[in-house]
Chain A
C-alpha cells in the first residue's frame, strides 16, 4: 500500500465522522496545549491557569452533553430553543454522532455506554477543577503543570472507556495512570507524598507490564486485537479440541486473560492488588485522592465490562462453563475485597486512609455486578432462562453498576472535598482533630452536615442515593442466584459488610457532632463559596435517593445498559 493510498483511506474513510465524535477529547487536548503555551510566553502571571482549565473542561463537558442529548433523542426533538444552534455549532450530524459504531477504523467505539461514561468523566473533571480552585492546591506557579496532568489523565480515561481494540485498552490504562503517578507525588517537599508516589509508580508500572504481556498473548494467539473479533476467534480456535487444561490454546488464552485482569484489578484496587491504594491516598492531597478514587475506577470498570463481554462474546457449549467460572472467581474476589476493605478501615485514625479502605470496599460492591453479569450471560441457558430474561438480567447488572458509579461520583467526591477543605483550616486529617467541628458556627457546620450526608450515603442509608445504588446491585445479583447459589451467598456477604461498615463511618461523624470541642481552639471562618460548592455536590446525593431524578437516572442507565446486550 503506497503512502497516498493510506492518506486517501484516512481522508475518505471514517475520519470526518471520527473527529466529530472525538471532538471533546480534542478540545481537552487544546486546553492542555494552551496551558503549556501560557508558561512559554510567561502569561501565567496575567491569566490564572485555573481559568483556562475550568473553561476548557466546561466546554468539553458541554460538547459531550450535546452529543449525549443528540444521540438519545436522535437530534430531532429538543425542547430547548438553543439546542438546534448548539448542535450546529458542534456540527453534530445524524451520520456521525447520531449513529453508534466504530471510529478510527475500529480502534474506538461510539455508543450509548461510552457516551454515558464520557459524560460522567467530563462532568467530574469540571467539579474537581472547581474544587482545586477553592482549596488552592496548585499555586499559580504549579498550576499549568497540575492541570495538564489532570486533564491529560481524563483524556486517557475517556479513551479507555471507548476502547475497542487491545492496543487502545493498554494505551488508555497507561494514559490515565502515568499522569496520576505524578499527581500523587505533587507535594514535592513532603516525605509521605514522595513515598506514596514511589509505591504507586512501582506497583503501577509492574502491573501494566504484566497486563501488556497478557495482551500480547491474547492478540497473538487469536490473531486479532479488535474486541469484536476476540470472541468468535476464540470459539474457532478451540473448535473441536474441547475445553480442557491439556489444550495449550486454552491455557495460554486463560493466562492472557488473567494477566489483563491483574492490570485492571490494580486500577480498581481489588484485593490482592490493593496495597498501593491506602498509601497513595494518604500521601496524596485529598483532591487527588477524590479524583483517582472516582474517575480512574469508573474508567477501569467500563474497560472491564467491555473486555469481559468481548472475550466471552460467543460462549456456546464448553466455553460457557469456563466463562461461568471466571464470573464466579470475580464474585469471590468481590467478596474478599469488600470484606478486607471494611475490616481494614475499622482501625484507621487518618480520615484519608479510612476513605481509601472504604473505596476498596466499594470496588468490591461494584465488582459484584460485573460477576453477576458474566454468570447470567454465560450460564443462563442451561438453567432454563429465556433469551429475553438473560438480556434483561444482564442489563440490570450493568444498570446497577452505572447507577452506583453515578452516585459514588458525588458521595466520594463530597467526602474527599470536605476532607480537603477542613485540612485547609485545621491543617490536619486525623479523626481526633475532627472533634467537635460541628460546634463551630457558619460554613463549618454546613460542611459537617454534608459530610454526614456523604457518609450515610456511602453506608447505604435509605433516603440517600447510596441506598438505591446498593439496592439495584444487590437485586440484580440476587436475581443471578437462581443460576448459581454463590450469587446468593455474595449478596448475604455484601449485606453483612454494609452493616459492619456502619461502625467506621459513624466514628468520623461521632467525632464531628458528638465529641466536645477541645478547649482553646480558634474559631474557623470559611468563605460562603466553599459552603455553596459543597452543598452543590451533596445535593445530588439526596436527589438520587428521593426525587424523580432517581427514576430518570435509572431509566437512562437502563437504556444505556441494554445497548450492550442486543
Chain B
C-alpha cells in the first residue's frame, strides 16, 4: 500500500491549527479557550513530526514535539489553576464576564 506522504500530515496539522484558532476566538467558556490552545499546539506537533520524518529536519523535530508536549502540560496546569481562581472570585468561567478592568 502506498504511504500517505507529507502532504496528508501537513493537512491534518493545518486543520488542527485552524480548528484551534476558531475555538480560541469563539468559545466563551475559559476551559473551551484552553482546549483551543491545545489543538493549536498539537497541530504544530504534527507538523514537527511530519517534517522530521519526511524532511531534512531529522531528530530535531521529534525532540521539539516532545518538549512541546511537556510544556503544554505545564501550561494547562497553570491555566486551569488560574481559571479555578477566577471561578472562586467570580462564580463563572465565562471569559466575557472578565470585563471589570477597562479603560
User: Which positions in A face B, CB cutoff 8 Å?
Assistant: 166-167, 170-171, 174, 178, 181-182, 185, 188-192, 194-199, 201-202, 205-206, 208-210, 212-213, 215-217, 219-220, 223-225, 278-279, 282-283, 347-350, 353
CA distance A220 to B43 in the complex (A): 13
> DSSP majority for the A interface?
helix
Within 8 Å of chain A (Cβ to Cβ): is B82? yes
Given the complex, which residues of B lie within 8 Å of A347, measured CB to CB? 103
CA distance A353 to B100 in the complex (A): 13
CA distance A102 to B103 in the complex (A): 46
How many Å from the CB of B64 to the closest CB on chain A? 5
Contact status B82-A198, CB under 8 Å: yes
Contact status A220-B48, CB under 8 Å: yes
CA distance A12 to B89 in the complex (A): 55
Q: Which residue from chain A places its CB closest to the CB of B20 in the assembled complex?
A: A209
* With A181-B78, A205-B34, A213-B40 as contacts: A191 and B51 at CB distance below 8 Å: no
CA distance A381 to B98 in the complex (A): 51
Contact status B64-A282, CB under 8 Å: no
CA distance A166 to B88 in the complex (A): 38
Out of A178, A189, A192, which one reaches B101, CB within 8 Å?
A: A192
CB within 8 Å of A: which B23-49 residues: 24, 30, 33-34, 36-37, 40-41, 43-45, 47-48
* With A178-B74, A213-B40 as contacts: A198 and B60 at CB distance below 8 Å: no
Q: Which residue from chain B places its CB closest to the CB of A225 in the assembled complex?
A: B60
Given the complex, which residues of B lie within 8 Å of A217, measured CB to CB? 47
Contact status B85-A197, CB under 8 Å: yes
User: Which positions in B face A, CB cutoff 8 Å?
Assistant: 13, 17, 20-21, 24, 30, 33-34, 36-37, 40-41, 43-45, 47-48, 50-51, 55-57, 60-61, 63-64, 67-68, 71, 74-75, 78-79, 81-83, 85-86, 88-90, 95, 98, 100-101, 103
> DSSP majority for the B interface?
helix
Residue picked from B45, B67, B85, most chain A C-beta under 10 Å = B85
Given the complex, which residues of B lie within 8 Å of A278, measured CB to CB? 101, 103
Given the complex, which residues of A lie within 8 Å of B68, measured CB to CB? 170, 212
How many Å from the CB of A230 to the closest CB on chain B? 12
Out of A195, A201, A219, A350, which one reaches B79, CB within 8 Å?
A: A201
20 cross-chain CB contacts under 8 A: A174-B71, A178-B74, A185-B82, A198-B30, A198-B98, A199-B98, A199-B101, A202-B79, A205-B34, A208-B75, A209-B44, A212-B68, A215-B44, A216-B48, A219-B57, A219-B61, A220-B48, A220-B51, A224-B60, A282-B101
9 cross-chain pairs, A with B, having the tightest CB-CB distances, nearest first = A220-B51, A209-B40, A223-B56, A216-B47, A279-B101, A212-B44, A213-B44, A205-B37, A216-B44
CA distance A197 to B90 in the complex (A): 13
CA distance A353 to B61 in the complex (A): 41
Contact status A197-B44, CB under 8 Å: no
Contact status B44-A205, CB under 8 Å: no
Contact status B64-A191, CB under 8 Å: no
Given the complex, which residues of B lie within 8 Å of A166, measured CB to CB? 64
Contact status B37-A209, CB under 8 Å: yes
Q: Which residue from chain A places its CB closest to the CB of B95 in the assembled complex?
A: A202
Contact status A194-B85, CB under 8 Å: yes
How many Å from the CB of B41 to the closest CB on chain A? 5
Given the complex, which residues of A lie within 8 Å of B41, measured CB to CB? 209, 212
* With A198-B30, A220-B51 as contacts: A206 and B37 at CB distance below 8 Å: yes
CA distance A198 to B87 in the complex (A): 10
Contact status B43-A213, CB under 8 Å: yes
Out of B43, B56, B82, which one reaches A194, CB within 8 Å?
A: B82
Residue picked from B21, B24, B101, most chain A C-beta under 10 Å = B101
Given the complex, which residues of A lie within 8 Å of B30, measured CB to CB? 198, 202
CA distance A205 to B60 in the complex (A): 23
* With A195-B86, A223-B57 as contacts: A201 and B103 at CB distance below 8 Å: no
Taking A194-B85, A213-B44, A348-B103 as known contacts, 10 extra A-B pairs with beta carbons closer than 8 A to each other, sorted by chain A number, are A171-B71, A182-B81, A194-B90, A198-B83, A199-B98, A208-B75, A212-B68, A213-B47, A219-B64, A283-B101
How many Å from the CB of A347 to the closest CB on chain B? 7
How many Å from the CB of B87 to the closest CB on chain A? 9
Contact status B40-A167, CB under 8 Å: no
Q: Which residue from chain B places its CB closest to the CB of A214 in the assembled complex?
A: B44
Given the complex, which residues of A lie within 8 Å of B55, measured CB to CB? 220, 223
* With A182-B82, A213-B40 as contacts: A167 and B57 at CB distance below 8 Å: no
* With A213-B44, A220-B61 as contacts: A195 and B98 at CB distance below 8 Å: yes
Contact status B78-A182, CB under 8 Å: yes
Contact status A171-B47, CB under 8 Å: no
* With A220-B48, A224-B56 as contacts: A196 and B101 at CB distance below 8 Å: yes
Given the complex, which residues of A lie within 8 Å of B103, measured CB to CB? 278, 347-350, 353
Given the complex, which residues of B lie within 8 Å of A194, measured CB to CB? 82, 85-86, 88-90
Out of A178, A189, A220, which one reaches B47, CB within 8 Å?
A: A220
Residue picked from A166, A201, A215, A349, most chain B C-beta under 10 Å = A201
How many Å from the CB of A239 to the closest CB on chain B? 16
Q: Which residue from chain B places its CB closest to the CB of A233 in the assembled complex?
A: B56
Residue picked from A182, A205, A350, most chain B C-beta under 10 Å = A205
Given the complex, which residues of B lie within 8 Å of A348, measured CB to CB? 103
How many Å from the CB of B45 to the closest CB on chain A? 8
CA distance A225 to B88 in the complex (A): 43
Contact status A174-B88, CB under 8 Å: no
CA distance A181 to B79 in the complex (A): 8
How many Å from the CB of A223 to the closest CB on chain B? 4
Contact status A189-B89, CB under 8 Å: yes
Out of A167, A192, A220, A350, which one reaches B100, CB within 8 Å?
A: A192
Contact status B95-A220, CB under 8 Å: no
